[in-house]
Structures are given as structure tokens and as C-alpha cells.
Amino acid sequence: MIASVLPTYNRAPLAFVKGEGSWLIEADGRRFLDLGAGIAVNALGHANPALVKALTEQANAVWHTSNLYHIPQQEALADRLVEHTFADTVFFTNSGTEACELAVKMARKYWYEKGAPERTDILTFDGAFHGRSSAGIAAAGSEKMTKGFGPLLPGFVHLPWGDHDALKQAAASPTAGAILVEPVQGEGGIRPLPDQCLKGLRDLCDQHGLLLILDEVQCGMGRTGRLFAHEWAGIEPDIMMVAKGIGGGFPLGAVLATEKAAGGMTAGTHGSTYGGNPLGCAVGCAVMDAITAPGFLDEVNRKAGKMRQSLESLVASHAAVFEEVRGAGLILGLKCKAVNADVVKAGYDNLVITVPAADNVIRLLPPLTITDAEIDEAINRLDAAARQVEAA
């Protein structure tokens, strides 16, 4: 008999009843060190007092009114995002995949309004992940995500990772409209796009008039040590997808855009019942205030350096289990020689949570607020997990 919850997930045999900072606690009191942060969501840790305050104060005021009316918390969060980024304007969603939907619609509408409605193609890359909506799976294009769900939304050109000739040819096509890319592929196995490549993509877009859409759903909101990952490359996108960390655990996403790229999105062209609701935006403001506070990102960078160094030693001492450390800031991956699922499971046995990714990688996406002592403890527990895998 089918489970009462649609069985689309392979769930680990764990269930948590409480979260505190970098820790998740089961009903029997077992405390797990959380290096997954709900897949890069709990950027400020579990039950962060500033977020609990923002959410409960808003819950006691008003939960939902709809986008028929002004939502002051939404305007406050949009103002903060505009102040700290390339963007002139923001639309709020409830998730990353909804942000993908709008990014695609926005790019197509841009070209439609410019009198070039044939420029519908969006260039994407192997290993990409943009969510599970119809546009999201069509954008990523992998067989794993799309098989059985056709006909797929047309207008995506899938390019091999690192094939510059294929990319240049696709960008020069008269039907090309935009390039969509994650500055650091998350689900694809923590594969950072080198700064030079991101600059190259910006140049290519400028050369052909294409829009550059960045998916910073997983790598954004301070995770790489800058507010957004593309800042390291010194470039700006035209459109950017954000979610996960921006709500710190409350479902919230956003599309940020320049005035030019957003030009086609006039009243009535897009909407969402819940997107930008007062609860989510009140929390989002508190998250933005914490991440943009002086010194916060400096600390992320310092701790990321410490973690990376410790992980390099871990890999060196378990050469049969691990191959290399990947990533940037606190979006890190351990490429495994052992089966990644076995390493994740051994982590559970040793009370440390990691997240599997493609390419036989385990992801380490701790809360950005993880402490030095917790990093040391995380390495001890990963070391124990690796020894368990070696002994098996």
C-alpha cells in the first residue's frame, strides 16, 4: 500500500524534534552536528533568536494579506536586497524552483518586448540543478529528472561543462536569449565555476546581447563568504535566483533583476498567492540584517579557511575514502573514493550530518554561524565516520 506521504524521497532513518544552532536533536536525546543545514537553508543555525523573534512578532501581528495589497515587510526586504546587490527590483517566491520559473519567463518576455520573440533559448550546463518544476527539470535536462515527465518545456540548450566551442556556437545562435548557470553547482557535486569562466560568460552575454541568469539558490546568501558568489568574479548578472538561506528555514525565494531585464514584467504578467508574505519577509529581513552586519562575512571566510584546511588533512589521512576537497567558503564537498552514501551513513552513526550530491560527493553546508569548536568536533566525527568506512 502506498505510504500516506507520497514516496518520492529516499529518507534517512532519522527524525529530529529540536534544533539549536549547529545541532539537531532526536527524541531520544541524540545530538547530531548538522553540516547539512537543511541543504544550505539554515544559514544562521537552528532556532536563531533573532529569527525566532522576527517570526513570532510578525505571527502576532499579521500572517497573510495577499499581493492585492502593499506588504511593508516585502518592501523592506526588497529595499535591503537592492541596496546590497546589482539588482534594481525583486519578486518574491516561496522556493528556488519558483524563482527559476520567473527567471525563465522574465528572459523570454524581455526578448518578446524587444521585438525578438524568437530568442527563447536558454543555455544551461550539464550537472545543473534548478529545481523540480517543469521549467526547472527542462532547464537541467538530466535523464534522471526528466524521464517520464515529457513533453518537456522547449527552449533549453544543454551544454557540456567546460566545452567552450559548443558554448560560443550556442551563444551566437539567432534564437539564443540567455545563459543560466550556478556559480557553484550544488546538487551537481559542489563544482565551482572558476572566476575566469564566470567573467567569460558575462563577456559572451555582452557580446551577443544575452541575459546572464545566475542561480544562487544554494551558493548565495553569504555561503561563499560574499553575499553572493558572483561577487568574487567582479561581475554582475542581469537576473538572479535566490532561495534557501534567504529565509533561514522559512520558505522564501526571490528573483532579483536589473530594471532593463525586468522591463517586460508589468502588472498582471506574474504573481503568487503566498510569495513575499509578511511572515517570510519579516524573517528574510532579519537574515539580511545578520549577514550584512559588519564582520559577519569576514568570520564566514575565516571559518571557511579553517574548515577547508582541516578537511584537506582529513582527506590526506583517509586516502581510501576521500579523493579531494571541493568548493568555496562554506559550500564544500568531499569527493569520495568510497561510495558517498556509505560515508553519509557512517556520518549518521557518528552523529554528524552531511548531504550526498552527484559525482560521488558528500556536501558540507554547515550553518554560517558554526563555531570553531564545532568545526573541530565536526572533523573528529568525520574522521570517525571515515575510519568506520575503512573498517567495513
CB of 93 to ligand PLP, least distance (A): 9
Nearer to ligand PLP, 187 or 238 (CB): 187
Interatomic CA distance for residues 247 and 250, integer angstroms: 5
Q: Which of 260, 220, 209 is nearest to 239 (CA)?
A: 260
Binding mask 208-227 for ligand PLP (x = CB under 6 A): -------x-xx---------
Contact between 130 and ligand PLP per CB under 6 A: yes
CB of 188 to ligand PLP, least distance (A): 9
CB of 22 to ligand PLP, least distance (A): 20
Contact between 131 and ligand PLP per CB under 6 A: yes
CA 174 to chain centre: 31
Binding residues with ligand PLP: total (CB under 6 A): 15
Nearer to ligand PLP, 279 or 314 (CB): 279
Decide if 77 contacts 368 (C-beta within 8 A).
Answer: no
CB of 215 to ligand PLP, least distance (A): 5
Decide if 106 contacts 265 (C-beta within 8 A).
Answer: yes
User: Which residues in the 174-213 window bind ligand PLP by CB under 6 A?
Assistant: 182, 186-187
Interatomic CA distance for residues 379 and 385, integer angstroms: 10
Nearer to ligand PLP, 177 or 186 (CB): 186
Contact between 96 and ligand PLP per CB under 6 A: yes
| Residue range at the interface with ligand PLP (CB under 6 A); choices 59-67, 125-133, 266-274, 326-334 | 125-133
Contact between 97 and ligand PLP per CB under 6 A: yes
Report how far apart, in Å, the C-alpha atoms of 90 and of each of 76, 109, 383 are: 11, 16, 43
**Residue 175 annotated as lining a ligand binding site:** no
Interatomic CA distance for residues 104 and 108, integer angstroms: 6
**Residue 5 annotated as lining a ligand binding site:** no
**Residue 236 annotated as lining a ligand binding site:** no
**Residue 273 annotated as lining a ligand binding site:** yes
In our burial notation (b when 16+ CB lie closer than 10 A, e otherwise), range 135-158 reads: bbbbbbbbeebeeeeeeebebbbb
Interatomic CA distance for residues 261 and 257, integer angstroms: 6
Q: Which of 63, 36, 58, 213 is nearest to 139 (CA)?
A: 213
Decide if 122 contacts 155 (C-beta within 8 A).
Answer: yes
Output the furthest CA–CA distance in the chain (Å, rounded): 64
Nearer to ligand PLP, 241 or 304 (CB): 241
**Residue 272 annotated as lining a ligand binding site:** yes
Contact between 243 and ligand PLP per CB under 6 A: yes
Binding mask 255-284 for ligand PLP (x = CB under 6 A): ------------------------------
Which residue of 95, 224, 340, 350 would you call a contact of ligand PLP, by CB under 6 A? 95
Nearer to ligand PLP, 95 or 340 (CB): 95
Interatomic CA distance for residues 80 and 195, integer angstroms: 26
Nearer to ligand PLP, 243 or 279 (CB): 243
In the three-class reduction of DSSP (H, G, I as helix; E, B as strand; rest coil), residue 40 is classed as helix
Decide if 362 contacts 356 (C-beta within 8 A).
Answer: yes
The residue nearest ligand PLP at its CB is 96
H or E stretch covering 17 = strand 16-20
List interacting residues with ligand PLP (CB under 6 A).
Answer: 39, 95-97, 100, 129-131, 182, 186-187, 215, 217-218, 243
Cite the annotated binding site for N(2)-acetyl-L-ornithine by residue number. Answer: 132, 272
Cite the annotated binding site for pyridoxal 5'-phosphate by residue number. Answer: 96-97, 129, 215-218, 273
